[in-house]
Amino acid sequence: MVYTNTIGAVIDAYGAGEIELKAVDPKTRKDAVYVTTGIVTSQYTCQTVAAFLGWTNRASDGGVQPTRTCRIAFDAWHAQHQTGVDVAAYLQKIPAKKQTTLATEAILTATKAATRQTKEAGLSDAAIRSAANDAAKEVVREFKGDTHSNIIENRAARIGAEAATKAKRAAGIIDDLPELPAFVMGIRDSLRQSRQMFLANFYEKLDPVLPYIGQLPEHVTKSIVKELRESAEEIQRRLLRSADAFDARIVQNVTPHPRKRLTA
């Protein structure tokens, strides 16, 4: 559950002069300070909003800090108003059991990465919003397609960067290509080694069980079969997705040869 409406109500009321928040600590980082755009122009932070709502917990230094839920809702509200990304709406597009704070953070991380990089490239506001929403859509696709969605935590920033790169290409901005590190050029051999290690580990676990197949209860056998098939499908889906990405790159690099004119 993303409590963006509650956060928004506090910020709007503060901007209208209807409520008072604690003064912002002068030591607060500038990028963490926001300014209201209502009748009253005042500074606020996630910390001051959290203190007003009581959404705080004890910090390691003895002070108080916003709860994780408050921080996520605060970021989600600003993402919606600054980049046009409705995090709560995107969250509703994934299975209910995966609508967690992890999913929300992944959407926010990808959105922030796309927004930052497109802004740095000087793209228009419309292009920035489009890249941010593309990043959010890709996160949703990952959560809907993968069984173990916790891996998205490591992919969220990269998803945002990929969305930004796509937007920059569409705008005709060509990035300087960095020198390829050795591990990139050796990826094929690395994948082959990983496959061999995976199969060796797999059979090491499974082979000792095979002599006992005839003694296993039917429900145990069915559960093992189900697990094996689901694992195979998931691995195949992920590997084919990567293969398709590389294959698409090959297609982009192919330049069709001009047709020769036939003469009688």
pLDDT exceeds cutoff 50 at 189: yes
Helix residue ranges, H only, 92-151: 101-120, 125-145
Q: Is the CB of residue 234 less than 8 Å from the CB of residue 146? A: yes
Output the CA angle 218-213-235, nearest 5 degrees: 85
Residue 138 near residue 160 (C-beta atoms within 8 A): no
Given a cut of 80, whether residue 228 has pLDDT beyond it is yes
Interval 147-184: pLDDT, tens: 455 566 668 888 898 899 899 988 888 655 566 677 77
pLDDT of residue 175: 58
How confident is the prediction for the chain on average, in pLDDT? 83
The separation between CA 251 and the C-alpha centre of its own chain, rounded to angstroms, equals 27
Return d(Cα 247, Cα 187) in angstroms, integer: 15
What single DSSP character describes residue 19? S
Gap between the Cα atoms of 160 and 197, Å rounded: 32
Instruction: Extract the tokens encoding 56.
Output: 């705080």
Please name the amino acid found at residue 93. K
Which of the residue ranges 9-13, 40-44, 255-259 would you say has the lowest mean pLDDT?
255-259
Write down the pLDDT at residue 148.
Answer: 54
- Interval 103-150: pLDDT, tens: 888 899 999 999 999 999 999 999 999 999 999 999 888 887 764 555
Give this prediction's pTM: 0.58
User: How many angstroms separate the CA atoms of 88 and 99, rounded?
Assistant: 10
